[in-house]
Amino acid sequence: MEPWASELAGRMDEHELDSAALKGNPLGDPHVRPLWVLVPPGYDDEPERRYPSVFVVQGYTGQIDMWRNRFPWRRNFPELADQGMASGDIPPCVVVWIDAWTALGGSQYLDSPGTGNYLTYICEEIVPWVDERYRTLGDRANRGVVGKSSGGYGAMALAMLRPDVFGGFATHAGDALFEMSLLPDFREVARALRDEYQGSYERFWDDFRSRPALSKEHDSTLSMTYGMAAAYSTDPDGTVRLPFDVATGKLIPEIWERWLARDPVRMVTEHADALRSMRAIYIDAGKRDEYYLDLGAEAFRRELEAIGITDVFFELFDATHAQIEYRYPLSLRYLAERLGS
Amino acid sequence: MEPWASELAGRMDEHELDSAALKGNPLGDPHVRPLWVLVPPGYDDEPERRYPSVFVVQGYTGQIDMWRNRFPWRRNFPELADQGMASGDIPPCVVVWIDAWTALGGSQYLDSPGTGNYLTYICEEIVPWVDERYRTLGDRANRGVVGKSSGGYGAMALAMLRPDVFGGFATHAGDALFEMSLLPDFREVARALRDEYQGSYERFWDDFRSRPALSKEHDSTLSMTYGMAAAYSTDPDGTVRLPFDVATGKLIPEIWERWLARDPVRMVTEHADALRSMRAIYIDAGKRDEYYLDLGAEAFRRELEAIGITDVFFELFDATHAQIEYRYPLSLRYLAERLGS
Amino acid sequence: MEPWASELAGRMDEHELDSAALKGNPLGDPHVRPLWVLVPPGYDDEPERRYPSVFVVQGYTGQIDMWRNRFPWRRNFPELADQGMASGDIPPCVVVWIDAWTALGGSQYLDSPGTGNYLTYICEEIVPWVDERYRTLGDRANRGVVGKSSGGYGAMALAMLRPDVFGGFATHAGDALFEMSLLPDFREVARALRDEYQGSYERFWDDFRSRPALSKEHDSTLSMTYGMAAAYSTDPDGTVRLPFDVATGKLIPEIWERWLARDPVRMVTEHADALRSMRAIYIDAGKRDEYYLDLGAEAFRRELEAIGITDVFFELFDATHAQIEYRYPLSLRYLAERLGS
Amino acid sequence: MEPWASELAGRMDEHELDSAALKGNPLGDPHVRPLWVLVPPGYDDEPERRYPSVFVVQGYTGQIDMWRNRFPWRRNFPELADQGMASGDIPPCVVVWIDAWTALGGSQYLDSPGTGNYLTYICEEIVPWVDERYRTLGDRANRGVVGKSSGGYGAMALAMLRPDVFGGFATHAGDALFEMSLLPDFREVARALRDEYQGSYERFWDDFRSRPALSKEHDSTLSMTYGMAAAYSTDPDGTVRLPFDVATGKLIPEIWERWLARDPVRMVTEHADALRSMRAIYIDAGKRDEYYLDLGAEAFRRELEAIGITDVFFELFDATHAQIEYRYPLSLRYLAERLGS
């Protein structure tokens, strides 16, 4: 295999959207956002044909250009998607890469006074924009969403919250079961703030922004935990509430409950009808996932089962949380098959 | 410093007690138990003099003989206690080492249908037995309890539950703030049971007992987590309830609440009067403690402060959870000074 | 800072070279190779002006596209180089990114019957090609080479072996002092081969190529160690000799000597004149480098000192081996300043 | 299983020897040393019977009292030896526990101007002393030596150097193949000295002795590496020579050669006759040994094979370097069987 980027068989269009939903977002992040659309090989040769569409959201700290990042001896997802469609492994579909980066590292694809209205941006702006310009099958029944890590979270959450928009979803190691995946980080946060930042998150952010990002041991946990609070437990006036006492890590139950209300595992019951309406549900995770999102995947599957949903793809495979882009073609095929008819 | 065991300046007596409280304990553990008593140098020369007493409980998996374990270039606690009294650093006192080992590794020094009546054994049997045979100042005002890790837990719990027995306590890295110290282990348990024991704790125990104990990676976490449940959430009929779904780690709130009811941090409010009656409170922990018991120490201290208790010894020092026996002389002096008058 | 790729102030040209030196290389790798050239802002406005040139080589497993990889909240090297020149921090120069990827992960920028003639490719083909097409100051005195990790190795080795081509070099955490950086990996190799591949490197490569690369724990060490042998100790007939018995890790002195002959630390004495002729020597490394290349940097500096070279930039900074692209602007400025006159 | 120390079936005698060999040792360590002797059950009932003897040496930092250390749910070696003989699993023999502790942590059981004459102490003083006082079969053919880690080293070295004294030996994870087991530590030493002790071993020792020993991250590696140099490469005048430049870790070949001359793997050829005369050779190690002594075990076995010795017990088992005292009964049986006839 040659390592370099290769010509695509299909066509990748790079766009920019000027989002009304993101205008005036609380972090001052740009409201003009990139968007990539891949059409399958032969798209231009069959001008009447319509295709299912799959929208892709990213893991925490992701911005759209990172989809082109190259890892040794590997293909990236756009290439894998293109090759899969070229070879016939993956039914032809329109794949849309979304950018929902924020200055905190991400948005969890929700509307929050802490980050901005990213759910609205996706569902009310991007989806119609794509449907207008591309020959998609313009119904929720033919539209899916997929992601990994925080992107897997986004896929679950968007499908549950907006079943009018999405008829299927796929989550690779998606954030779920927050007491197993997120809560154990709080103690690292409390200790790092105590030992390095006099107990203050503001001092952390000042330091973080003053030097190469993510160059200190606790940068990732400190920034991500804060970002989760910005997404899950920000007051209407923009005050970010942490679900624990930063001095000790002691849980603050009323804030922690706000996080749990956003935990996919806890959302299932309330969104049972939405989930039952899905035509494709794909769940996987690595068995050595550093965030134990394999447990979250299993818990989410069990909640689905409890409301009678058993027709799901489910697999725990041998991997960590990192470098599992080779799973995307599996979920893309699954979604394209189920949403294509 | 010579490395070998040295003659004590005081006198160490080794006893055995036949405990009524432990008879018929649910694990079938022995009811005849060892007990060590160290009297200070000069004890026999002053036949009228009475001394404060300090009772010592152990960390998880501890049994009494381990107090004689030797670590390179170090003295063990009995030697340090003896030397401290011989040199005058530590006021003379009677030090009592308690054995509360169980087949699960420990008892948390509570009464539980999962392990046995260890609190009763200590408070109703050992203490009177010692008072009868040794010239202790036989009042709760002159009696303290100390321990590290689960022993620190025991010290806090015994003092709060039995202020009629203990008038002071010292906790070194004592178990506390369970969501920071114990909960993060649950995910390791769930995954290990899934991958190695078909999801069954019984299979784990069968395997554990069939080979050298603690020789596999997850042995310690699996056995200790189960032991905590045996101490904190066992039904009257002896059924051990785990506070999480073993398949996923998902918390079971009603069982988890039973654990929290035993968390020293949460016990403070209910036992405020008991705590206010203490004449000596000593709290420390290593800042790199693997169980983050430094956070538990801080949280416990803050709860004390919230009920008006500020006259406490408190220190976070630079160490991990292991090999901190050199802290015992500090707490022993503190207790002996405060409880001696 | 916006996270997305931004327009360059200068101009980046992407070329392909058809290399005679790489034709028929032993690994069957492509002989047509990508090459990028960045010219500074204003290059086209001053058609007579000539510039110093800096050639950039990569770390192990690198291929040229990876220079565009994006890391959260960071700029990549091409952007940093461009911005530095645009802002005036870095004197204008022509920067050339070289691709010397091989199927084993790299070439160490040497000529070897195990990988191919990459030194020749760089010195005899790329350099003249660039000089012909760009307004470089076409003398060795104005030409530098820089890299990180294996690229740092390449910078040191190319400068020592071809002082007729390069008049300065910069090494960021460059491979050096092989007994501290490479030898300790051999034990991991021996054990992994024993436990997972029946002691056979062939079985490893078969497995490695059959699945997502670098997805198993020892993949990186196994592939890199082999790649080093391909570069340092391959017989003329193409037989790759490992410097240790794969069954035990026991050193094979005569092969290990062939590695040491390629160790920059050991090359200094033989290439003393070449080194003395350098107009710019820049050395740095992170103090927490996982390969202990900070020790290699110090050892290399000491060897230079021993032959009388003390006018070098030298810094050990607080970082690991990863994500230190923010150091490139420092070395680029250093080289451009010294080689520009 | 009850966890407490139990009555032995045989008899353990505790002695003290006043050693002429250790008098005036360079570290000022005591020359009066403890010695334990275990006789099998029934020893006193058969006053004419003679027994094979097995001498036991310890791992680094060991002193004799540590043999009584208790680990949860485990028996210590004296108990296991006694129980094995009581049950008939292990043929009756006299087991002798030796103390060769030094202020640096150990002696490697050699004579060295850096530590003292421990080989002489063992072979010329202890062995005759035991033979005089106990009914041993007083021939080298019936005398073995066993140990773990540095004790395993001692077993191999003593047998090779003094085949007139020992006719068999057993090594559990014994130090061997120094480039795989010891050399990789040098880089940690160099970095720790640089970052914490201004490059000076003296400063390290001053610090080490001023506080609880082994309480800092690099204490163990720093002290042990120095101790090895004291044993392997001390000049006649007492100057301890390190085999590497402390500033960089760069090997100093002539000193490193002195270490290799003491490496069991390299000693085999010179001591081939001694080894061929052995009546029992037992070799094992854990496959996850942190010092990779499994590779050393395999390399040692291969060297034996190369000189025609294949009648050896050899096993690599699933374990780390720690807590493998349950292997001693296997080697003790092996030695007692082979040396008993």
Q: pLDDT (tens digit, 9 = 90+) per residue, B283-305?
A: 999 999 999 999 999 999 999 99
What residues of chain A, 88 to 107, have a C-beta less than 8 Å from chain C? 99, 101, 105
Of A181, A158, A212, which Cα lies nearest the Cα of A286?
A: A181
d(CA D302, CA D308): 10
Q: In what order do the strands lie in the sheet with A168-172?
A: A11-18, A32-39, A94-98, A53-57, A143-148, A168-172, A280-286, A313-317
Neighbour-count burial of D179, counting CB atoms closer than 10 A to its CB (0-12 exposed, 13-18 middle, 19+ buried): buried
Per-residue pLDDT of chain D (341 residues; tens, 9 = 90+): 688 988 999 999 999 999 999 999 999 999 999 999 999 999 999 999 999 999 999 999 999 999 999 999 999 999 999 999 999 999 999 999 999 999 999 999 999 999 999 999 999 999 999 999 999 998 999 999 999 999 999 999 999 999 999 999 999 999 999 999 999 999 999 999 999 999 999 999 999 999 999 999 999 999 999 999 999 999 999 999 999 999 999 999 999 999 999 999 999 999 999 999 999 999 999 999 999 999 999 999 999 999 999 999 999 999 999 999 999 999 999 999 999 98
Closest-CA residue in chain A for B253?
A179
Closest-CA residue in chain D for C191?
D295
Contact C323 A30 (CB under 8 A): no
Outline where chain A has alpha helix (H): 77-87, 118-120, 127-133, 150-161, 178-181, 183-196, 201-209, 219-232, 253-260, 264-270, 272-276, 293-306, 328-339
Of B86, B103, B128, B87, which Cα lies nearest the Cα of B25?
A: B103
* pLDDT at residue number D341: 83
Q: Which long-range contacts (CB under 8 A, 24 or more apart) does B119-124 make?
A: B119/B157, B119/B158, B119/B161, B119/B162, B120/B21, B121/B19, B121/B21, B121/B22, B121/B33, B122/B55, B122/B57, B122/B98, B122/B158, B123/B158, B123/B162, B123/B165, B124/B21
Judge whether residue C1 has pLDDT over 90. Answer: no
Asked if C196 reaches chain A (Cβ–Cβ under 8 Å), the answer is: no
Asked if A225 reaches chain C (Cβ–Cβ under 8 Å), the answer is: no
Are B22 and B121 a contacting pair, CB within 8 Å? yes
d(CA C43, CA C291): 40
Q: Which helix (DSSP H) or strand (DSSP E) does residue C153 occupy?
A: helix C150-161
* pLDDT at residue number A2: 82
d(CA C194, CA D257): 28
Contact A70 C61 (CB under 8 A): no
For testing contact with chain B, the best of A178, A181, A189, A250 (most B CBs within 10 A): A250
Residues forming beta bridges with residue A314, ordered by sequence position: A283
Closest-CA residue in chain A for B188?
A292
Question: DSSP label at A248?
Answer: T
The mean pLDDT of C127-133, rounded to a whole number, is 98
Asked if C74 reaches chain A (Cβ–Cβ under 8 Å), the answer is: yes
Strands A11-18 and A32-39: antiparallel
- Give the pLDDT confidence of D157-210 residue by residue, as tens digits: 999 999 999 999 999 999 999 999 999 999 999 999 999 999 999 999 999 999
Asked if C190 reaches chain D (Cβ–Cβ under 8 Å), the answer is: yes
| Angstroms from A315 CA to nearest CA on chain C | 17
* pLDDT at residue number C341: 83
For testing contact with chain B, the best of D1, D2, D4 (most B CBs within 10 A): D4
What the block records as the tokens of B326 is: 């050199």
Give the position of tokens 């059950």.
Answer: D41
Are B2 and B14 a contacting pair, CB within 8 Å? no
How many beta-carbon contacts under 8 Å exist across A and C? 73
| Angstroms from D59 CA to nearest CA on chain B | 11
Residue B71 has phi, psi (to 5 degrees) of: -120, 145
Of A121, A95, A143, A97, which Cα lies nearest the Cα of A25?
A: A121
For testing contact with chain A, the best of B295, B301, B302 (most A CBs within 10 A): B295
Burial A78-90 (b: 16+ CB within 10 A, else e): bbbbbbbbbeeeb
Are A94 and A136 a contacting pair, CB within 8 Å? yes
| Angstroms from A97 CA to nearest CA on chain C | 14
- Give the pLDDT confidence of C282-318 residue by residue, as tens digits: 999 999 999 999 999 999 999 999 999 999 999 999 9
Neighbours of chain A (3+ CB pairs under 8 A): B, C
Asked if D245 reaches chain C (Cβ–Cβ under 8 Å), the answer is: yes
The model's pTM is 0.97
| Angstroms from B218 CA to nearest CA on chain A | 14
* pLDDT at residue number D335: 98
Q: Report the amino acid identity of residue B136.
A: T
Are C305 and C185 a contacting pair, CB within 8 Å? no
Torsion of CA C176, C182, C184, C186, to 10 degrees: -160
Contact C214 A71 (CB under 8 A): yes
Are C145 and C255 a contacting pair, CB within 8 Å? no
Asked if B205 reaches chain D (Cβ–Cβ under 8 Å), the answer is: no
Residue A95 has phi, psi (to 5 degrees) of: -110, 130
CB atoms within 10 A of CB D67: 19
Neighbours of chain D (3+ CB pairs under 8 A): B, C
What are the 10-residue block averages of pLDDT along chain A, 341 residues in total?
A: 88 98 98 98 97 98 97 97 98 98 98 98 98 97 98 98 98 98 98 98 98 97 98 98 98 98 98 98 98 98 98 98 97 98 83
State the SS3 of B134-180.
CCECCCHHHEEEEEECHHHHHHHHHHHHCCCCCCEEEEECCCCCHHH
Per-residue pLDDT of chain B (341 residues; tens, 9 = 90+): 788 988 999 999 999 999 999 999 999 999 999 999 999 999 999 999 999 999 999 999 999 999 999 999 999 999 999 999 999 999 999 999 999 999 999 999 999 999 999 999 999 999 999 999 999 998 999 999 999 999 999 999 999 999 999 999 999 999 999 999 999 999 999 999 999 999 999 999 999 999 999 999 999 999 999 999 999 999 999 999 999 999 999 999 999 999 999 999 999 999 999 999 999 999 999 999 999 999 999 999 999 999 999 999 999 999 999 999 999 999 999 999 999 98
Residue A118 has phi, psi (to 5 degrees) of: -80, -35
Outline where chain B has alpha helix (H): 77-87, 118-120, 127-133, 150-161, 178-181, 183-196, 201-209, 219-232, 253-260, 264-270, 272-276, 293-306, 328-339
* pLDDT at residue number A49: 98
Contact C63 A213 (CB under 8 A): no
Contact D213 B70 (CB under 8 A): no
Contact A179 B249 (CB under 8 A): yes
| Angstroms from C252 CA to nearest CA on chain D | 11
Are C141 and C279 a contacting pair, CB within 8 Å? yes
How distant, in Å, are the alpha carbons of A66, A102, A266, D116 from that of C69? 7, 19, 37, 59
Asked if D77 reaches chain C (Cβ–Cβ under 8 Å), the answer is: no
Asked if C305 reaches chain D (Cβ–Cβ under 8 Å), the answer is: no
Asked if D253 reaches chain B (Cβ–Cβ under 8 Å), the answer is: no
CB atoms within 10 A of CB B158: 23
Which region, left, alpha or beta, applies to residue A338 given φ > 0 means left and ψ of -120 to 50 means alpha? alpha
| Angstroms from B212 CA to nearest CA on chain D | 7
d(CA D320, CA D330): 17
Contact C190 D295 (CB under 8 A): yes
Contact C180 D187 (CB under 8 A): yes
- First vs last Cα of chain C: how many Å apart? 34
Measured over the CA atoms of residue C119, residue C121, residue C125 and residue C130, the dihedral's sign is negative
Helix (H, G, I), strand (E, B) or coil at A170: strand
Contact D3 B63 (CB under 8 A): yes
Q: Mean pLDDT across chain C, nearest whole number?
A: 97
d(CA C270, CA C161): 10
Are A253 and A283 a contacting pair, CB within 8 Å? no
Outline where B26-182 has alpha helix (H): 77-87, 118-120, 127-133, 150-161, 178-181
* pLDDT at residue number D83: 98
Residue B54 has phi, psi (to 5 degrees) of: -130, 125
How distant, in Å, are the alpha carbons of A189, A191, A246, A250, D223 from that of A198? 12, 10, 10, 17, 35
